[in-house]
């Protein structure tokens, strides 16, 4: 068992708690870069899909898991990032400029939308973001000269410093591109949590009244969280467009928003690991169900709603028996082995608590 004895504030906010943890994550990154030499191109495509969903999960996790603001409209920001990136490239901008700019524009739009929306709380905020997701479908159709309407768009081949990258003919190159973006977004998220702004996000999540008493500007903090969340989500949307090869107004539907929210709940709210664990479930669940269905009842038989039903059942089971998600379960197992034989049966008993100051809302 490793004991972290911290004597300075710098030790408390360092990137990794100890050298062992840094080596573990370094080994994971090396494994990720070596993966194309270990598995075939089909599974490289599936892992790429996992990474794209993980980026989108990081975006929503920053808002919902870290700041406590529920959103069911992030599919709209996936669409904004996707269309903005494609339109900017069509206007002559190189990918290396258009891609970051697409995320920044998405973040600015999200921050502007957040000004009136974040005056709401709880279920009312979720309803407002659902309306935003539904409205995005109509806006895409109305802006047909730019978006292509129902016919959709086909993203051009990516060119980075003369190197061509395409999802179908060059899956390994596309995988490395997505992997680099994933690492950058993860490091950005992790460093944000170590900053005063990240701690302000957590304070707003835990108690807005207490955060106000400590000098945190609630409206500004929420708008900043929404903007940064939408920026990361916009980058994921741009990569989703390249991964799909074509997209229209139906690609980023409200189902995507609901799937994103369920994904981070299953993975583990409030943790970077939760976004990745949830992405693995979302990306590999359809493949697993397809293999299982073919083995039990044979191929060619379609079962409508099977994937949605199984995903919903998994969500209900996690809410009932493991609210902390997959990452929470992993933490409990790891701590149990670290403390063995001194681990107690009721160590992780859920405590019922209510902050009385929240009645002042």
Q: What is the pLDDT of residues 249-268, one digit of tens each?
A: 888 888 898 889 889 999 99
pLDDT at 277: 94
pLDDT at 149: 85
pLDDT at 360: 45
pLDDT band at 162 (very low <50, low <70, confident <90, very high): confident
pLDDT at 121: 74
Residue of 214, 187, 201 whose CA lies nearest to 66: 201
Q: Burial code of 130-156, b = ≥16 C-beta within 10 A, e = fewer? A: bebbbebbeebeeeeeebbeeebbebe
**pTM for the full predicted model:** 0.90
Residue-wise pLDDT for 5-51, tens only, equals: 777 777 777 888 888 889 999 999 999 999 999 999 889 999 999 99
- What average pLDDT does this structure show over 81-110? 94
Q: Where do runs of H (alpha helix) occur along 13-73?
A: 19-34, 41-60
User: Would you say residue 79 has pLDDT above 90?
Assistant: yes
**Partners of 164 in the beta sheet?**
159
Q: Which domains does the chain have, with CATH numbers?
A: 36-348 (1.10.3470)
Rounded Cα distance, 114 and 38, in Å? 44
Q: Which residue has the tokens 């899956």?
A: 171
pLDDT at 351: 53
Read off the tokens for 151: 């016919």
């Amino acid at each position: 068992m490793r004991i972290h004895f911290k004597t300075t504030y710098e030790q408390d906010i360092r990137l990794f708690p100890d050298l062992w943890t840094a080596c573990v994550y370094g080994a994971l990154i090396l494994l990720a870069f070596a993966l194309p030499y270990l598995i075939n191109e089909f599974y490289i495509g599936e892992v790429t899909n996992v990474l794209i969903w993980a980026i989108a999960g990081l975006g929503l996790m920053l808002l919902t898991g870290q700041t406590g603001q529920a959103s069911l409209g992030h599919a709209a920001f996936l669409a904004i990032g996707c269309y903005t990136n494609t339109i900017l490239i069509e206007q002559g901008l190189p990918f290396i400029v258009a891609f970051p700019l697409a995320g920044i524009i998405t973040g600015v739009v999200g921050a502007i939308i957040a000004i009136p929306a974040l005056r709401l709380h709880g279920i009312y905020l979720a309803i407002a973001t659902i309306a935003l997701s539904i409205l995005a479908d109509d806006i895409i159709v109305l802006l047909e000269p730019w978006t292509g309407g129902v016919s959709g768009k086909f993203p051009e081949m990516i060119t980075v410093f003369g190197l061509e990258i395409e999802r179908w003919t060059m899956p390994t190159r596309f995988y490395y591109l997505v992997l680099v973006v994933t690492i950058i977004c993860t490091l950005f998220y992790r460093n944000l949590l170590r900053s005063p702004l990240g701690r302000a996000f957590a304070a707003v999540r835990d108690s807005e009244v207490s955060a106000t008493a400590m000098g945190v500007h609630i409206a500004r903090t929420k708008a900043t969280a929404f903007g940064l969340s939408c920026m990361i989500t916009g980058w994921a949307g741009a990569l989703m467009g390249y991964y799909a090869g074509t997209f229209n107004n139906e690609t980023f539907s409200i189902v995507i928003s609901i799937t994103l929210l369920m994904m981070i709940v299953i993975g583990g709210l409030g943790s970077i690991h939760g976004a990745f664990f949830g992405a693995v479930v979302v990306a590999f669940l359809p493949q697993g169900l397809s293999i299982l269905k073919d083995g039990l009842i044979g191929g060619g038989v379609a079962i409508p709603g099977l994937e949605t039903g199984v995903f919903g059942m998994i969500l209900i089971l996690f809410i009932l028996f493991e609210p902390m998600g997959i990452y929470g379960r992993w933490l409990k197992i790891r701590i149990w082995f670290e403390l063995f034989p001194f681990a107690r049966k009721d160590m992780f008993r859920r405590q019922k608590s209510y902050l009385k100051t929240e009645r002042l809302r």
